[in-house]
Structure 1
Amino acid sequence: MTTLVACSHGTRSPVGRQVVAAIVEAVRAELPDVDVRPAFVDVEEPEIGGVVAGVTGPLVVVPLLLSRGYHTKVDIARAVGTRADAVQTAPLGPHPLMSEVLVARLAETLGPEGLRPGDHLVLAAAGSSEAVAAVDVEATAADLRRHVSVPVSVGFAAGATPRIADAVTQARSDGAARVVCLSYVLAPGHFADVVRAAGADLTTAPLGADPRIARIVADRFAAALRESGRV
């Protein structure tokens, strides 16, 4: 039996920790016959290297991260590289289901009125010094544009430009009557706070423990099993 290691960043936010724990539980419900273990790259324990070392038998590490970046390239890759029977999947995004989650959070924020002419959406991501992270966020934005009828731009809390506040300002300069930040972070914590402080008219909640997040994890796991010849 192949173990699934769900590896998230880690946060000091108690609510953020609860959300990540709920996501792991949702993955267990989605894959009841699979041993699902949490791990973290920073702040929290158990640390990814120790979890990988402690698993008996083959394992698949699914990053509970929204794009490729330093943690997928270095921290997780280093841990996975210590074992020939370990595989690392792509992160949660981009994925077709991610736009559905974002649209659901948007609907919760807008209420029955929904989007209106003059609205502009800023997909507000954490950001990374790794350029590939911005590529992944842009891919998510491109998919999101197929689901909404208003402009979508991107902004980053750190590590890349434009910064979220600058993206909000640019949207207004371009004529937006209302700017909505889509909080493209998994759970409450530092980056969610940065998104909320960016000056948008409205800001959605983080993605949270949406059932579709667990489905993305299950999809990544199944794809890894197929590609490794374990199914």
Structure 2
Amino acid sequence: MTTLIACSHGTSDPAGRAAIHTLIDQIRMLLPGIRVAEAFVDVQDPAVDEVVDRCVGDGPVVVVPLLLSTGFHTNVDIARAVAKHPGRATATPALGPHALLAEVVHDRLAAAGLRSGDAVILAAAGSSDPAAAVDVRAMAALLSPRLGRAVTVGFAAGAGTRISDAVQAARAAGHERVAIASYVLAPGHFARVIANAGGDVVAPSLSPDLRIAEIAVERFRAGVQVLRPHVTA
């Protein structure tokens, strides 16, 4: 039996938990016959290493991070969990950057009331890992041509420009309105920080959305091929 372990950050926010549960249900719907297990890197249980250890005896295990960018959790927590089982477990890249995520962000902004003259800031949680900022900038580059304007980035924590500072810079550059695109997967602490950063328009977090589940499935299938080319999924 091949197992997809959907590994998210974890949150104490009930709306955030519900959003992730819905996303995982969508993944299950797209992968009938594949076991989909849930795991976390923080806040909630079970921890990803525990789930990998439990599932790997039944067959190949592919951990798909339900995280938008590379960072400490992908490079340390998840990587360490699969490293104990070479040839039997692997981890895929994070969900972003991805063209489908750019579509989702675009649609969230449009629904929130984006106008043609608005400055746009892609607001991410942030990380101490510089790779996360690279991924967010790559995501902004995918989003920019869809919106027909420049997209700057801001972070709620970690290295890089704070979201509120990015908002002030946009206003200083002459923009009357600033739209913030929440580049977080689900409601929770970072979504609240983004909502309170001073934007005139704040698009909500991204999940649940079937397109995000499709990215997770794409990552899973690529992981299966890396791990066991003869395993079909």
- TM-score, length-normalised on structure 2? 0.95
SS of equivalent residue, structure 2 residue 103: helix
- State the partner residue of 2:48: 48
- State the partner residue of 1:80: 82
SS of equivalent residue, structure 1 residue 219: helix
- State the partner residue of 1:95: 98
CA offset digits 1:99-157 (Å, max 9, x no partner): 011011112101xxx5222x111000000000000000000000001201222100000
Instruction: Give me the whole-angstrom Cα distance separating, in 2, the residues matched to 1:151 and 1:178.
Output: 14
Task: State the Cα distance separating 1:223 from its structure 2 match.
Answer: 1.2
- State the partner residue of 1:108: 111
SS of equivalent residue, structure 2 residue 149: coil
| 1:200 and 2:199 aligned | yes
Bigger mean CA offset, 220-229 vs 208-217: 220-229
Structure 1 vs Structure 2: percent identity of aligned residues? Answer: 51
Task: State the Cα distance separating 1:225 from its structure 2 match.
Answer: 1.8
Q: Which runs of 5+ in 1 are unaligned?
A: none
Q: Which runs of 5+ in 2 are unaligned?
A: none
Task: State the Cα distance separating 1:32 from its structure 2 match.
Answer: 1.1
Instruction: Give me the whole-angstrom Cα distance separating, in 2, the residues matched to 1:227 and 1:80.
Output: 13
| 1:14 and 2:30 aligned | no
| Aligned pairs (5 A) from 1:27-176 | 27-55=27-55, 56-84=58-86, 85-110=88-113, 114-117=114-117, 119-176=118-175
Aligned length: 227
Bigger mean CA offset, 10-19 vs 143-152: 143-152
Task: State the Cα distance separating 1:2 from its structure 2 match.
Answer: 1.5
Please list every run of at least 4 consecutive aligned residues from structure 1 whose deviation after the TM superposition is greater than 3 angstroms. Answer: none
- TM-score, length-normalised on structure 1? 0.96
Task: State the Cα distance separating 1:71 from its structure 2 match.
Answer: 0.3
